[in-house]
Chains A and B, each alone.
Chain A
Amino acid sequence: VLNLEYNYKSCIQNSEKVSWRISDVLPENATLDYSKKFLPEALSGDRALSFLSPSERLALNQIRGNSYLYLFRFVEEYIIAMVIQHIDAEVFGDEDILRALLRFAEEETKHQQLFAKFGELFTHSFGVPVGVAGNPEEVAGFIMQKSSMAVLVMTLHIELFTQHHYTASVRDNEAEGLDPLFKSMLKYHWLEESQHARIDALELDRLANDSTAAMRLKAVDEYIEILHAFDGLLLGQVQLDIESLRAKTGRVLNSDEREKFIKAQHRSYRYVFLVLGLTNPTFAKYLAAFCPESAPKVSATIANFS
């Protein structure tokens, strides 16, 4: 269905080449440089908030950096559950598929540990408590209620926008002087996510081959439902960021500023986590092959989130 140009064996080989340890990326004595931004403007959207001072925008950028990695940790909760299901299904089956999936699960668990370790470092060094969206298990449960193809489409969306974030906004970005430790974490995360996106596509292709057009259309509907649920989570995170900014800088927004902040930051979160996935060229190509009838629904969803 998807006409893919790679296979599970090549994913294992590539995964072995780029494999890393948490201690290589975030050693015990690692420190964050709070004079620098964590995220590029393209992923933080702080420039639109002209009523904030440069130091307040810098603090917000670092709050967004923390929530950015936390949200990955959050979604990896369900991704691990999903991959474990696919591993269960492949027991006594094809060994290349099984190995690729086992590596996928191990790497996602490692990413969760890396981001948890970063979260501890940030919490201790930022100086004030920072709010992050709660109940990853609840969100994982909501997503896992959907059909396996919908869950895979959502996962592919995430893995592909992750690559786009790094390659388009971080990798060659010298101009914004990003914190080197943060930049390095994004690089190592991206290295392994590249193979995960391929495994998602391979798994989706296998399920699609055993499905009907009606099942694939239903999967797209469910994927869009997941996006809307995720959007609610993102709006909640914006509200938490306002409180974190106040705690860090003492800045209390008036009602006009608060309204502008919520509008601009919600738009930024949507762009980063929803629109960049929906409009990713590889994702769009796969989705069109998976379900040609999905195009109008996807266009409407992009318009809704833009």
Chain B
Amino acid sequence: MSEQSLRVAPSFAPSTPTEELVLSKMVRVLGHEKAAALLEETMASIGLAQLNNIQEMLSVANALIKAGGFPSVIGRSLKVYAILRGASE
């Protein structure tokens, strides 16, 4: 995750219910701009153009966990959320 991407106001807007859910948790901690930038960059880093399901949410969660800091706390919560709904490693 580059510092630059977190500072720039993103054009990213959620396009699926899963993206909305993930973004809403991130916004609570990081604010809208940083959250949107982080989610967009995280999705790009794992080759996802869109978050369509719980399994993809788990992939984003794992990427956030690897990022460390507050994103990793969000990632852990998203990971449990996804696993409770049937996602598997």
- Complex A-B: 26 CB contacts under 8 Å: A85-B84, A86-B84, A88-B77, A88-B80, A89-B80, A90-B77, A91-B73, A91-B74, A91-B76, A91-B77, A92-B25, A92-B26, A92-B28, A92-B29, A92-B74, A93-B28, A93-B77, A93-B81, A147-B86, A148-B84, A148-B85, A148-B86, A207-B84, A210-B85, A210-B86, A211-B85
Contact check, B54 vs A210: say whether CB atoms are below 8 A apart: yes
Q: Which B residues from 45 to 85 make CB contacts under 8 A with A?
A: 54, 73-74, 76-77, 80-81, 83-85
CA distance in complex: A192, B52 (Å): 38
Nearest chain A residue, comparing its CB with the CB of B84 = A148
**Residues of B contacting A: mostly:** helix
Report the minimum CB–CB distance from B25 to chain A (whole Å): 4
Number of interface residues, chain A, beta carbon within 8 A: 14
Q: Contact: A89 with B77, CB < 8 Å?
A: yes
- A residues less than 8 Å from B77 (CB atoms): 88-93
Q: How many residues of B contact A (CB 8 A)?
A: 16
A215 at the interface (CB under 8 A from B): yes
The CB with the most chain A CB atoms within 10 A, among B54, B83, B85, is that of B85
A138–B62 alpha-carbon span in the complex (Å)? 29
Chain B nearest CB, measured from A79 CB (Å): 15
Q: How far is the CA of A147 from the CA of B54 in the complex (A)?
A: 15
Chain B residues with CB below 8 A from A211, complex form: 85-86
Q: How far is the CA of A210 from the CA of B81 in the complex (A)?
A: 11
Interface residues of B (CB under 8 A from A): 24-26, 28-29, 54, 73-74, 76-77, 80-81, 83-86
Q: Is the CB of B85 within 8 A of A207?
A: yes
Residues of A within 8 A of B26 (CB): 92
Residues of A within 8 A of B (CB): 85-86, 88-93, 147-148, 207, 210-211, 215
Contacts of A92 in B (CB 8 A): 25-26, 28-29, 73-74, 77
Does more than half of chain A's interface fall in helix, strand or loop, or is it mixed?
Answer: helix
Q: Which of B73, B80, B86 is the one whose CB lies under 8 Å from A85?
A: B80
| Chain A residues within an 8 Å CB radius of B76 | 88, 91
Question: B53's closest neighbor in chain A, by CB?
Answer: A210
Contacts A89-B80, A148-B84, A148-B86 aside, 17 further interface pairs with beta carbons under 8 A come to A86-B84, A88-B76, A88-B80, A90-B77, A90-B81, A91-B25, A91-B73, A91-B76, A92-B74, A93-B25, A93-B77, A147-B86, A207-B84, A207-B85, A210-B54, A210-B85, A210-B86
- CB B79 to nearest CB in A, in angstroms, measures 9
| Interface contact B86-A215, CB-CB below 8 Å | yes
Find chain B residues with CB under 8 A from A89 CB: 77, 80-81, 84
CA A86 to CA B73, docked complex, whole Å: 15
In the bound complex, residues from chain A placing their C-beta under 8 Å from that of B54 are: 210
Q: Which residues of A have CB within 8 Å of B86? A: 147-148, 210-211, 215
Closest to A84 in B: B80
CB B86 to nearest CB in A, in angstroms, measures: 6
Residues of A within 8 A of B73 (CB): 91-92
State the CA gap A147–B87 with chains docked (Å): 11
Point out the residues of chain B lying under 8 angstroms from A85, CB to CB.
Answer: 80, 84
- Chain B residues positioned under 8 Å from A148 (CB to CB): 83-86
Which residues from chain B contact A147 at a C-beta distance below 8 Å?
86
Nearest A residue to B74 via CB reads A92
Chain A contacts of B85 at CB under 8 A?
148, 207, 210-211
Report B-chain residues with C-beta under 8 Å of the C-beta of A91: 25, 73-74, 76-77
Contacts of A88 on B, CB cut-off 8 Å? 76-77, 80
